[in-house]
Structure 1
Amino acid sequence: MDKQDIIKQLKESKHSKVKVAITDIDGVLRGKLMHTDKLISALESGFGFCSVVFGWDMGDFAYDSTELVGWHTGYGDFDAQLDINTFRTIPWEDDTPFLLGDFSNKTDGDIPVCPRSLLKRVIAEAEKMGYNPMFSQEFEWFNFRETSHSVSEKNFQSLQALTPGMFGYSILRMSENSDFFNALFEHLKSFGVPLEGLHTETGPGVTEAAIQYSGILEAADRATLFKSATKEIAYKHGIMASFMAKQTSKLPGCSGHIHQSLWDKDNKNNLFYDEAASDHMSDIMRSYIAGQLYCLPYILPMFAPTINSYKRLVEGAWAPTTLTWGHDNRTTALRVLAASSKATRIEHRVVGSDVNPYLAMAAALASGLYGIKHGLKLDIPPTSGNGYKNLSHGVLPANLFEASNKMKDSDIANTLFGDTFVNHFTTTRAWEWRQFSKEVTDWETKRYFEII
């Protein structure tokens, strides 16, 4: 639909309000209900949205040292623009209309720290090079029979999992909770977030969903909306969905793998596929992989943005720790699938479920394009067997502090995303590390309380 079609539908709607949302630096949807008349005006001229959404963390505590936004700026409004291509209705909220937006300034251009705007800038670069990026994301997450009140009362301890035991790909567990899973599948489809598949994963109450692939901006929108929608639909069924990367040291973590390929402008030819090559990998694909591996250590916080992210990236837990790639190898950072012209793609396995999809996809695409632009050769051979043991090309930074410092001091990160974004983003990650460092953990209490 074009803008006039949407305006007509809004005027004829039984609803007098529309839900609008933007995404903050952590990938959290921040939004409001807006009167239809105000929304129609906003479609034409934009609207003000408080800049504090880039000046505080996910717990609404104000950062103490960011330059673009802070007490020194007075927390005025940024100019937000709604994207009519994101228009949909929310089926579990009586088909309330919904729109996504991002931040831009008609005079000065995009706000550099806006995740969706950053992705759009990287997409424009790809299109200028003649490429149409096609992406999709898949998520694993834990489900609990809890409410926001009950988890708080329990201090997030001894929570009741949706199902007990380890039962991946279980038909029984899906059937046991069919009302929730059927609602999830159907509501997401109606919400414009169609799933390719949905199944239980290893771990109590763990589920995995693969979102259907699309153009990269739509893919990032779908991924972002998927996480929020899944939580909302779960609430309706007395369930809490958690996308923490690592719930417990006793179980594997939760991934957010990104699948990616480059197509021609007409979207007819997969440019990663080469029928004549013995491994069916084109030179473009090889340079793209080389770029991703080369840039990965310097932009890791965009794939692993939280303290908890790095608890998932440990040996033998289905998440990569080394700078490796391989053919259909789930122990490497990049898994190459090159079976046919339609399906040839790269699966980025570093990405966790706690990620901001806009930043992760921007990082994946920008680093791949870096390899193509600089004619990088894929000199690293594919890893056969255990990628955890292949240390010959380096390992990933071990925690958020190390990864953020590496990104902050990186010419590569600044080249890919600009100084303003890199400075702001790494400052927010340093803040996150400082908040964690002040806390006394359960591990410390158990370790030192009596014996030391």
Structure 2
Amino acid sequence: MDDLRDLIAAGTIDTVIVAITDHLGRLQGKRCGARSFLEDVYPHGAEGCNYLLAVDVEMNTIEGYESSSWANGYGDLVMRPDPDTLRLVPWLPGTAMIQCDVLSTDGTPLAPSPRQILRRQIDRLESLGYRAYIGTELEFLLFDDSFSAAWDREYTGMREASRYNVDYSLLATSRLEPVLRAIRNGMEGAGMVVESSKGECNFGQQEVTFRFDEALRTCDNHAFYKNGAKEIADLQGKSVTFMAKFNEREGNSCHIHFSLRDLNGDDVLSGDREHGFSDLMEHFIAGQLAALKEMTYFLAPNVNSYKRFVEGSFAPTAVAWGLDNRSCSLRVVGHGAGMRTENRVGGGDLNPYLAAAALIAGAIHGIENRLPLEPVTAGNAYTTDADRLPTTLRASRDLLAGSEIARKAFGDEVVSHYVHAADVELSAFEAAVTDWERKRGFERL
């Protein structure tokens, strides 16, 4: 904050973006004049309509949410800036951003806010003596068309930024470097540590990865990066999508690496059990597996999310764990202090706070109940008789609605809020007439 005051006094910063992450995983908020931010917003918070956690993708007001409706007058919520999130936005002149906790006007945390949901799970875990560390690997597709051109063409006939599978390719990704380098350098300028960028299997598909951190910071960085990548691409006349499945080729994943340490920062997952595990590691994995089906909604929150789950596609279908086994939902990688699980279920469209909260809640369930670990899957999980992930949003919605694990972890208000969000998405999809239907039925049916 002292640095920000100096930059504002020098005229280097004139705008401070005040942002929250909504229930759909999007950054929303206001651009504040720098002096007003320092004198008014930072000490007291900013207000916004509480419908920000109760709209659909189109920003339509939706009935049925307890926290926000015409019945309660669509009042305000409070965005309380968290100084730990303050950062420059290098690609926007004179701009800094701060991310916020979401409170009701009486100062209490607003239960359905994704950031507050994650904070609660972090607190639950730390009461057991452990701290969560997370890294997210987020994929996107890059197109040579601008967002405006893509909209005008209704997202058909778009030009992928590469014309063939560019997984690990250096030649093909060099052609994408103007955008990728701007993203990497922009994120470094915003205080994040970029590990790498690499090509992926689909045409124009890329992955940029960042150093892992404590769970809340990783999710703040994830939300900032996802929004920023779109802005940077747009400034170059390009577009990116984080849709889970844009076309029939490979989808966009968001693999989540997850580990625990004790409150002193020491390793707690490695030990002298089989595979080099500790007792805690066994309960840690077992709990995540036990909660996975019921929590799938938080990893796959949209109708489109479930189209990734294709056998043999590197997206998982089986509720199974393996050692460095990419056919499993949970892949255990690393050794010693670097040992961790990689959850491979999530798509690029997930809300990082909700996904991280679900993983932590599952781990707590395993630790508190000392769940035994099922045998490792050594071969192809796609061909085993292991339990399967839900394959539709409706099935996932029903599992969440009936989940005792989720209700214990999050509370009835939060579960009801996100079950209703699933209902909103399902109703919108079921009312839509798709291109697929027109092509099949216009002449031939």
CA offset digits 1:171-210 (Å, max 9, x no partner)? 1112222222221111111112322110111121000122
Tell me if structure 2 keeps the 8 A contact 1:261–1:270: no
Is residue 2:410 matched to residue 1:387?
A: no
The equivalent residue for 1:438 is 431
Tell me if structure 2 keeps the 8 A contact 1:193–1:226: no
1:85-96 alignment to 2 at 5 Å? 85-96=84-95
The equivalent residue for 2:100 is 101
Alpha-carbon distance in structure 1 between the residues aligned to 2:277 and 2:21: 35
The equivalent residue for 1:52 is 51
For residue 307 of structure 2, give the secondary structure of its aligned residue in structure 1.
helix
Aligned match for 2:399, one of 381, 384, 406: 406
Tell me if structure 2 keeps the 8 A contact 1:273–1:338: no
1:30 Cα deviation from its structure 2 partner = 0.5
Alpha-carbon distance in structure 2 between the residues aligned to 1:53 and 1:396: 30
1:51-450 alignment to 2 at 5 Å? 51-105=50-104, 107=106, 109-249=108-248, 251-267=249-265, 269-274=266-271, 276-339=272-335, 341-378=336-373, 380-392=374-386, 394-450=387-443
1:119 Cα deviation from its structure 2 partner = 0.5
Q: 1:125 to 1:8 in 2, by over 3 A?
A: farther
- Partner letter of residue 99 of structure 2? L
1:289 Cα deviation from its structure 2 partner = 1.0
- Partner letter of residue 386 of structure 1? N
Alpha-carbon distance in structure 1 between the residues aligned to 2:277 and 2:443: 58
Alpha-carbon distance in structure 2 between the residues aligned to 1:226 and 1:428: 24
1:224 Cα deviation from its structure 2 partner = 1.0
Aligned residue pairs: how many?
444
Tell me if structure 2 keeps the 8 A contact 1:11–1:36: no
- Partner letter of residue 371 of structure 1? G
Alpha-carbon distance in structure 1 between the residues aligned to 2:58 and 2:9: 36
Tell me if structure 2 keeps the 8 A contact 1:24–1:30: yes
Alpha-carbon distance in structure 1 between the residues aligned to 2:280 and 2:405: 20
- Partner letter of residue 426 of structure 1? V
Alpha-carbon distance in structure 1 between the residues aligned to 2:175 and 2:35: 45
Alpha-carbon distance in structure 2 between the residues aligned to 1:226 and 1:374: 36
For residue 97 of structure 1, give the secondary structure of its aligned residue in structure 2.
strand
For residue 267 of structure 2, give the secondary structure of its aligned residue in structure 1.
coil
For residue 303 of structure 2, give the secondary structure of its aligned residue in structure 1.
coil
Unaligned 5+ segments in structure 1 are none
The equivalent residue for 2:23 is 25
Alpha-carbon distance in structure 1 between the residues aligned to 2:183 and 2:31: 23
TM-score, normalised to structure 2, is: 0.96
Q: Which moved more, 1:383-392 or 1:200-209?
A: 383-392
For residue 99 of structure 1, give the secondary structure of its aligned residue in structure 2.
strand
Alpha-carbon distance in structure 1 between the residues aligned to 2:408 and 2:6: 44
- Partner letter of residue 96 of structure 2? P
